[in-house]
Amino acid sequence: MDVVPTNAGGVALPAHGPHPHAALLFADFLLGPEGQKFLGKFGLDSAVNKPDFKRWYAEAGMTVEQYEKENRKWEKLLREIGRK
């Protein structure tokens, strides 16, 4: 199986949503125990549970300087791709 980059869990909120306080409450619910149980009913597992696969973190073992250098490289590439 190929390596598939993914998010290990989180909630994103729009910067200028129409109901920012409701969005924060919803995010709090999703990350809490009730929300995790709710999501589990639909096959969406929590990031805190041990997955059936080995997690790999690209930045593991890097120094801060190495991480920042790699981050600048990827940001530059994404800016170049986004301009097309």
Pick from 26, 58, 5, 20: nearest CA to 34: 26
| Residue 42: per-residue pLDDT | 85
Q: What is the pLDDT of residues 7-28, one digit of tens each?
A: 656 778 888 999 999 999 999 9
In this predicted structure, the answer to whether residue 50 has a pLDDT above a threshold of 70 is yes
| Residue 55: per-residue pLDDT | 75
- Tell me the average pLDDT across 38-54: 77
DSSP alpha helix (H) spans, the chain: 20-31, 33-40, 64-82
This prediction has a pTM of 0.48
What's the mean pLDDT when you consider all of the chain?
A: 82
Question: Distance between CA atoms of 70 and 65, rounded to whole angstroms?
Answer: 9
| Residue 9: per-residue pLDDT | 63
User: 40 Cβ partners below 8 Å, 6+ apart?
Assistant: 46
